Amino acid sequence: MLSVTEKFSWLIETLRSLSSVLEIESEKEIGFRVYDELDIDIHSALCDNNLEVFVNQNLITSETSKELAGLRNQTLKLIKQRLEPDQIKLNESWIDISKESEQIYVSINNRSAL
């Protein structure tokens, strides 16, 4: 079983990975990142149980928890669409998710720096 610190690190890494999907050059790598890595990471690292623990440990705010749950749900819907990797980079919803994950990542890092 992972510790809270390990779970939180997993959350941070998932956000970093999600925010950088559109920067990947290789279509094969995009497909692997989205359909293999992120599909698992989004389900697990951003699960409601983890988000509740992070709020209770004051690692994130309840508002950030809601944002993360929304991000998780939006991302899982897009993953289910099974777009071709070359389409992911051009898809407005993927672009929005990438930007939102970057904003949440920055917000969490700014909070933890305080």
Report DSSP letters for 53-103, one per residue. Answer: HHHHTTSS-HHHHHHHHHHHHHHHHHHHHT--HHHHTT-HHHHHHHHHHHH
Residue spans of the domains in the chain: they are 25-113
The confidence score (pLDDT) of residue 68 equals: 98
The confidence score (pLDDT) of residue 110 equals: 82
Q: Provide the 3-class DSSP secondary structure of residue 3.
A: coil
1's tokens? 């079983």
The confidence score (pLDDT) of residue 114 equals: 53
Beta-carbon-side half-sphere exposure of residue 11 (alpha carbons within 13 Å): 30
Predicted TM-score of the model (pTM): 0.91
Q: Residue-wise pLDDT tens for the chain (114 aa)?
A: 899 999 999 999 999 999 999 999 899 999 999 999 999 999 999 999 999 999 999 999 999 999 999 999 999 999 999 999 999 999 999 999 999 999 999 999 887 655
